[in-house]
Amino acid sequence: MELRGKQKRFLRAMGVTMNPILTIGKEGVTEGVIAQADGALRARELIKGRVLQTAPDEPEAIAAEVAGRTDAALVQVVGRNFLLFRRNPEEPKIELPD
């Protein structure tokens, strides 16, 4: 899924007040992390994740891997935090601007 600039700004504004619900530590991106991210994206559409200092890779690489494996759009990576978005086809919750 490719997001345009206006849509990314809209989602970033929503993500400012969110707390990270996905934490990636020394094990890196495991099947459990992917399952948790997939379930959270299905329920919420927009999630925030955090990459701990002990993670084996850089936050950008980890966020891109999680986004790729969950078919989500990587909205933003700031420091060790990242935002992912994936529309729920059955019950959309977030209406993106055109």
**Partners of 11 in the beta sheet?**
none
pLDDT tens for 33-58 read 999 999 999 999 999 999 999 999 99
Residue of 50, 45, 47 whose CA lies nearest to 87: 45
pLDDT at 44: 96
pLDDT (average), residues 84-93: 93
Domains of the chain: 5-85 (3.30.110.60)
Q: What angle do CA 37, 69, 53 make, to 5 degrees?
A: 65
Cut 0.75: pTM above it: yes
- 2: pLDDT confidence band, cut at 50, 70 and 90? confident
CA distance 76 to 9: 10
- 9: pLDDT confidence band, cut at 50, 70 and 90? very high
